[in-house]
């Protein structure tokens, strides 16, 4: 037995009329009775198409300033009745309830209204009641009713009407029902999160409406999907599809370079979410060269990012390096053409987009949620802990190193000099190991550490780190403090003419 159903009636109540005209005309051509109300009814009439006002069905006007229009048994009975149930069919006839086969709804734009900075009253008025109820009713009864729940689905529904001349299969109706419940759950999540901005209700709800399947996850045997609006953050100019690992590196790169927004030309090179090179100079060309000098070996296959436009001379240097991704606020025309010389190289223009204020990650059988570490150490935060005070140059380097340290995997030590990353020890189980690794790496690339500075993401429990650093030539240290043995490190610095400043803010990154 065929599960195809020929539609005879449709109820339309939408906020957005964009793309609705062709649907209404096709419904009319197919002889389908159209019910509507309010602005949608007027829109249909203006097309010269006959429409039955919902008020004629309910014998009740729209009331309370339009808050109550479709909430009526004669509307919901027409949607929720089971057409293979004799009692339901009998009651439809008894109460003169018309059968409704198609429901087309587009909800009030709650999220857009919220994002616009509207008043609370305007936001509340954009919480749809009738529309969301129609969606849930029609989607629940997908066995008999097809529900179109968003302007985004108008075109798919129009194509379905054309292809099947008003008939739909059970699979069609169930597919649209799934979309409808996605719309309703997302809508309710946005409303809940608005009311729970202070987090007093201890639940986590998140809904992201766009997803892209990736070639694979972190490794080829793992599946991966990115959920988010990538195009809102970047304009992709060139290159292959981004991988799971590319996206993680791009995320790390964007968060790092944002620390230098509006500052002198700054260039960073990242590998496995950590900076392997970073420098700030008068020109982006010199910044790139000095960032590359920080670790030309790790730069191979890395992600590159600039805080200013990449010009021709910089692009010519970058083109000599195999790199996965290059990101900048813009590229000169000549730079873009040069960098497109490698067909797989990904070129991204970073847009000025607000990033989420929360971080979410899976943990055990749930998730961990925290505020992002949006604290950037500034001059005003620094407490001079030693008798020897840092020079202006050292202070500048200390804050520079602190920004990098904040975005490097713990335990970490960052060594910098003259606004250039000399080396970092990343992800070590011991802070001493992180320091030794950074010193060894800096020396391997011929950096002179005399006069360099050291940044630590957490306090020093013993004076061993400042002792090792001092012997390597480090003359100034920035650290959060907080150890019960802080004074031991301070004393060593005082005895050996090393300047130390304490920020009071730890920057663990796990």
- Residue 457 and residue 427: Cα distance in Å, rounded? 11
What are the residues whose beta carbons fall under 8 Å from the beta carbon of 175, sequence distance 6 or more?
A: none
Is 406 known to be catalytic? no
- Residue 35 and residue 52: Cα distance in Å, rounded? 5
Is 312 known to be catalytic? no
Six-digit token string for 48 = 């010269």
Task: Please provide residue 152's backbone torsions phi and psi, each rounded to the nearest 5 degrees.
Answer: -65, -20
> From the candidates 25, 164, 175, 272, which is the catalytic residue?
272
Residue 471 in 3-state DSSP? Answer: helix
Query: Are the beta carbons of 406 and 457 closer than 8 angstroms?
Result: yes
The residue whose two tokens read 């909800």 is 107
Residue 433 in 3-state DSSP? Answer: helix
E strands present in 265-365: 266-271, 274-280, 302-306, 323-328, 346-350, 358-363
SS (H, E, C) 8-46: CEEEEEECCCCCHHHHHHHHHHCCCEEEECHHHHHHHHH
What are the residues whose beta carbons fall under 8 Å from the beta carbon of 185, sequence distance 6 or more?
A: 207
Helix (H) or strand (E) holding 403: helix 392-406
> From the candidates 8, 140, 143, 340, which is the catalytic residue?
140
The residue whose two tokens read 């309010």 is 38
Six-digit token string for 90 = 């009998």
Query: Which has the closest alpha carbon to 308: 283, 340, 286?
Result: 283
Which residues are marked as active site? 140, 272
């Amino acid at each position: 037995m065929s599960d195809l159903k020929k539609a005879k009636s449709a109820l339309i109540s939408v906020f957005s009329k964009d793309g609705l005209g062709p649907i209404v005309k096709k419904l009319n051509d197919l002889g389908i009775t159209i019910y509507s109300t309010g602005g949608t009814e007027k829109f249909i009439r203006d097309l010269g198409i006959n429409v039955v006002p919902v008020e004629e069905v309910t014998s009740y006007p729209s009331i309370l300033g339009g808050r109550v229009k479709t909430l009526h048994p004669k509307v919901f009975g027409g949607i929720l009745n089971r057409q293979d149930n004799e009692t339901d069919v009998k009651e439809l006839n008894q109460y003169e309830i018309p059968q409704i086969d198609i429901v087309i709804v587009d909800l009030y734009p709650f999220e857009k209204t919220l994002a616009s900075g509207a008043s609370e009253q305007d936001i509340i008025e954009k919480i749809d009641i009738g529309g969301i109820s129609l969606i849930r009713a029609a989607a629940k009864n997908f066995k008999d009713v097809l529900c179109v729940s968003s302007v985004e689905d108008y075109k798919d529904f129009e194509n379905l009407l054309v292809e099947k001349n008003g008939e739909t299969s059970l699979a069609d109706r169930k597919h649209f029902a799934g979309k409808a419940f996605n719309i309703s759950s997302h809508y309710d999540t946005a409303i809940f999160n608005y009311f729970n901005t202070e987090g007093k209700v201890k639940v986590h709800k998140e809904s992201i409406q766009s997803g892209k399947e990736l070639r694979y996850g972190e490794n080829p045997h793992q599946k991966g999907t990115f959920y988010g609006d990538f195009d809102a953050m970047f304009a992709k100019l060139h290159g292959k599809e981004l991988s799971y690992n590319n996206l993680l590196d791009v995320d790390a790169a964007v968060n790092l370079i944002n620390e230098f927004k509006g500052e002198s030309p700054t260039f960073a090179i990242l590998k496995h979410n950590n900076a392997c090179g970073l420098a700030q100079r008068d020109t982006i060309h010199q910044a790139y060269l000095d960032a590359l000098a920080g670790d030309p070996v790790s730069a191979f296959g890395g992600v590159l990012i600039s805080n200013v436009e990449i010009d021709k001379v910089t692009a010519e240097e970058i083109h000599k390096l195999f790199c996965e991704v290059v990101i900048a606020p813009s590229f000169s025309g000549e730079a873009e053409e040069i960098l497109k010389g490698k067909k797989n190289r990904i070129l991204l223009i970073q847009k000025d987009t607000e990033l989420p204020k929360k971080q979410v990650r899976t943990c055990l059988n749930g998730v961990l949620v925290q505020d992002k570490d949006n604290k950037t150490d500034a001059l005003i935060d620094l407490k001079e802990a030693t008798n020897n005070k840092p020079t202006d140059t050292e202070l500048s380097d200390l804050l520079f190193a602190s920004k990098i340290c904040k975005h490097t995997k713990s335990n970490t030590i960052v060594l910098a000099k003259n606004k250039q990353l000399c080396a970092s020890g990343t992800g070590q189980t011991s802070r001493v190991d992180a320091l030794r690794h950074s010193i060894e790496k800096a020396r391997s690339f011929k950096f002179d550490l005399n006069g360099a500075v050291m940044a630590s993401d957490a306090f020093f429990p013993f004076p061993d780190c400042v002792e090792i650093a001092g012997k390597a030539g480090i003359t100034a240290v920035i650290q959060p403090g907080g150890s019960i043995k802080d004074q031991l490190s301070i004393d060593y610095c005082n005895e050996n003419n090393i300047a130390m400043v304490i920020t009071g803010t730890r920057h663990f990154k796990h």
